[in-house]
């Protein structure tokens, strides 16, 4: 209970808060404690003692017939809180950021009467400190709890100059084991990957979120990311015809000609991408099935019930690819499952390049291991998205461990303002800079991923091109 209104506190009969027993020294022993301004550990605390001091002075005067000459307040040593009392002993405050929790008691002493009053209040524990950090337990597929990666293509601005549309992207990524996993000693299930082909100019970035309910989803997400990188490296970067189509498309879009040529080029590019991006997911599923069979064949015949299938490796997969064409940038994406992909421009324009991918029931999502995902070719095509713009401020892709706390609703997810707020937060934390080394940015990105968001404690993974 917090009292912010002095009159409300003053209206409470003081006799109910304060009782005394006369002793030989003339002191007062308080039997009833008055709890004021409860607070919380690690949070700013401020409470004015003026009313309490005033009532205490009046009580001492009425009991002894003499006004106190001074009031001392003590009892909050080594708590992170400070007590101040004015020189005239009429006002006081408790303030600071407490680094303890539980019941704290302060003692007011009237001088020279040596009469005391004890006042107590509660500090709730810092919820962050309630989470345990238990080392990850493995029966197979060991991996680190955290991961960072970065790419720094050659660019003239690497020595501190400002980036221009002629320069490439810096790519940074980080993946962090969530508090809920750390609390139970479970491994990180998220994975990520990135690749830059200097010859073709293609950037390839991927993130994957292994299902928390699937025993080996960490391996599933790892297979999905590595497979996607391999396929894009092999097919995307070697397809000169695709690059030519993109150049023509970008030039046509730049001219803003609403013509059949644009539609034809869009269809041609999507058809090319159809045999690359969705194949990343499909081939990943095949490798996952093969991996499950390999594990089953290695199991002892004494445990026939421990047979694994692709469901035990369930994972999402989000892919974003980008390349420069003249002074413009072409971006394409493909996603199965929750998370987010977006292109954010300097002027604040947003292009959301992924959609919520709910399953058959509320709270579910789709995974690349589900055969039903690939049953409808037209639905697969709709998962491929394309965008052309000037050099983006950032291209971001993230698992829902990041998107859920940063975008609390579909409306926020679609809000350019919400994405600009995230972009500003990243810049304010020196994660996105114009001159710092990419590996430094990636390390700060990993540290940032430990941000506090009540109710959101899943693994967190994000890759940023900027």
329-355 tens-digit pLDDT: 999 999 999 999 999 998 889 999 998
For helices 277-298 and 217-231, the axis angle rounded to 10 degrees is 140
Q: What is the DSSP letter of 195?
A: E
Give the H or E element holding residue 35.
Answer: strand 34-35
Residue 6: the pLDDT is 36
Taken in order 427, 430, 432, 433, is the CA torsion positive or negative?
positive
User: What Rg, from alpha-carbon coordinates, does the chain have?
Assistant: 31
Query: What span, in angstroms and rounded, lies between the C-alpha atoms of 188 and 205?
Result: 19
Which CA distances in Å does 362 have to 356, 357, 358, 365, 376? 12, 11, 7, 9, 22
Residue 7: the pLDDT is 35
Residue 10: the pLDDT is 35
Residue 365: the pLDDT is 86
Taken in order 214, 218, 219, 224, is the CA torsion positive or negative?
positive
The answer to whether the beta carbons of residues 450 and 462 sit under 8 Å apart is no
Residue 303: the pLDDT is 59
Query: What span, in angstroms and rounded, lies between the C-alpha atoms of 131 and 146?
Result: 17
Residue 291 CB coordination number (10 Å): 20
Give the residue ranges of the chain where pLDDT is below 70: 1-35, 154-166, 254-258, 300-305, 358-364
Residue 254: the pLDDT is 65
pTM surpassing 0.85? no
372-426 per-position pLDDT tens digit? 999 999 999 999 999 999 999 999 999 999 999 999 999 999 999 999 999 999 9
Backbone phi and psi for residue 191, each to the nearest 5 degrees, phi listed first: -140, 165
The answer to whether the beta carbons of residues 354 and 341 sit under 8 Å apart is yes
Q: What is the DSSP letter of 431?
A: S
Query: What span, in angstroms and rounded, lies between the C-alpha atoms of 345 and 89?
Result: 58
For residue 343 the two structure tokens come to 């292109």
Q: Of 380, 233, 367, which Cα lies nearest the Cα of 312? A: 367
- Asked if the bond preceding 112 is cis, omega within 30° of 0, the reply is yes
* Vertex 386: Cα angle to 223 and 378 (nearest 5): 75
For residue 27 the two structure tokens come to 């002191």
């Amino acid at each position: 209970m917090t009292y912010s209104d002095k009159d409300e506190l003053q209206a409470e009969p003081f006799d109910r808060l304060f009782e005394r027993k006369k002793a030989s020294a003339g002191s007062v022993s308080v039997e009833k404690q008055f709890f004021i301004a409860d607070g919380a550990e690690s949070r700013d605390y401020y409470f004015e003692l003026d009313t309490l001091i005033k009532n205490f002075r009046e009580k001492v005067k009425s009991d002894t017939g003499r006004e106190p000459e001074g009031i001392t307040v003590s009892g909050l040593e080594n708590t992170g809180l400070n007590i101040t009392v004015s020189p005239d002993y009429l006002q006081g405050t408790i303030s600071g950021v407490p680094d303890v929790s539980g019941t704290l008691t302060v003692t007011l002493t009237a001088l020279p009467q040596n009469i005391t009053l004890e006042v107590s209040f509660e500090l709730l524990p810092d919820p962050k400190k309630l989470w345990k950090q238990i080392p990850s337990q493995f029966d197979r597929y060991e991996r680190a709890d955290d991961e960072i990666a970065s790419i720094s293509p050659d660019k003239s601005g690497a020595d501190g100059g400002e980036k221009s549309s002629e320069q490439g992207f810096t790519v940074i990524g980080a993946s962090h084991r969530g508090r809920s996993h750390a609390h139970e000693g479970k491994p990180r299930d998220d994975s990520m990957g990135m690749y830059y082909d200097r010859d073709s100019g293609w950037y390839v970035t991927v993130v994957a979120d292994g299902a928390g309910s699937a025993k080996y989803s960490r391996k599933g997400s790892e297979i999905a990311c590595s497979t996607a990188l391999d396929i894009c490296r092999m097919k995307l970067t070697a397809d000169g015809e695709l690059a030519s189509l993109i150049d023509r498309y970008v030039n046509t879009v730049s001219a803003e000609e609403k013509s059949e040529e644009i539609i034809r080029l869009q269809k041609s590019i999507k058809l090319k991408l159809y045999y690359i991006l969705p194949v990343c997911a499909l081939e990943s599923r095949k490798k996952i099935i093969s991996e499950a069979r390999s594990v089953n064949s290695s199991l002892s015949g004494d445990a026939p019930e421990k047979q694994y299938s692709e469901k035990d490796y369930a994972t999402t997969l989000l892919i974003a690819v980008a390349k420069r064409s003249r002074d413009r940038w072409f971006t394409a994406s493909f996603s199965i499952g929750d998370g987010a992909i977006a292109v954010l421009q300097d002027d604040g324009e947003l292009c959301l390049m992924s959609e919520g991918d709910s399953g058959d029931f509320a709270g579910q999502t789709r995974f690349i291991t589900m055969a039903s995902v690939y049953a409808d070719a037209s639905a697969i095509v709709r998962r491929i998205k394309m965008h052309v713009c000037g050099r983006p401020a950032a291209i971001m892709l993230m698992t829902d461990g990041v998107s859920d706390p940063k975008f609390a609703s579909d409306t926020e997810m679609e809000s350019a303002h919400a994405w600009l707020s995230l972009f500003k937060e990243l810049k304010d934390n020196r994660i996105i800079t114009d001159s710092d080394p990419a590996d430094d940015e990636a390390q700060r990105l990993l540290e940032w991923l430990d941000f506090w968001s009540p109710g959101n404690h899943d693994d967190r993974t994000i890759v940023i091109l900027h």
